Amino acid sequence: MSTVKGVAPPIEKYDGSSLRVLIVHARWNATVVDALVKGAIDTMTNEYSVKSENITIQSVSGSYELPFATQRLIAASRLQATPNAAELFSTTSTGEQTGPPPVNTQTFDVAICIGVLIKGSTMHFEYIADAASNGIMRVGLDSGVPCVFGVLTCLNEDQALERAGLGSSEKKHNHGIDWGHCAVELAVKNRGWMTADHVMFIY
């Protein structure tokens, strides 16, 4: 039986070869989270030519911490991208590096926040889900960097496994794949939206 649920594929093929991507993931429910992270990375690198060296991966303990970590990492990437950032790294007259190794000084074009919440017997699930979803949205709006909401909010373990492409269910699908598609599309479109000649005004 066919279903109407699901996202339609993008109209055009996007080139992600110049993008810098941030992935911040929680360590709770690591088996499911790891599969989701891999799904997102494989999609971006294999289908959109995102360079693996341009994908930064950071972890935090839980989904509640995702917004704060993402906000700080976006801010750090902007600091690295300032003209004075190069002065932080020095060399001797012989060319020997005396400071830390060079870093990628491109700002992040998009962030994917990944976590897995599974409902228990208390209200903890509801509070964390609400805080994480609102926090991630706020980081994107405040920073201007698209933040993909990659937090599964599941009622049981089977739902979580199914949505990470794991388990035996025929309906299983790795949502990390969808987040990878979404991240590249948003990043490329956001670059265009920031230049007036790429904005279409409808009257």
E strand residue ranges, the chain: 21-26, 55-60, 110-118, 147-154
Q: Is the distance from CB of 113 to CB of 149 less than 8 angstroms?
A: yes
Q: Is 198 a catalytic residue?
A: no
Say which of 25, 124, 173, 198 is annotated catalytic: 124
Pairing mode, strands 55-60 and 21-26: parallel
Decide: helix, strand or coil at residue 167: coil
Q: Report DSSP state, residue 164.
A: B
What values do phi and psi take at 112, rounded to 5? -120, 120
The tokens describing 17, both together, are 């070869």
Among all residues, which ones are annotated catalytic?
124
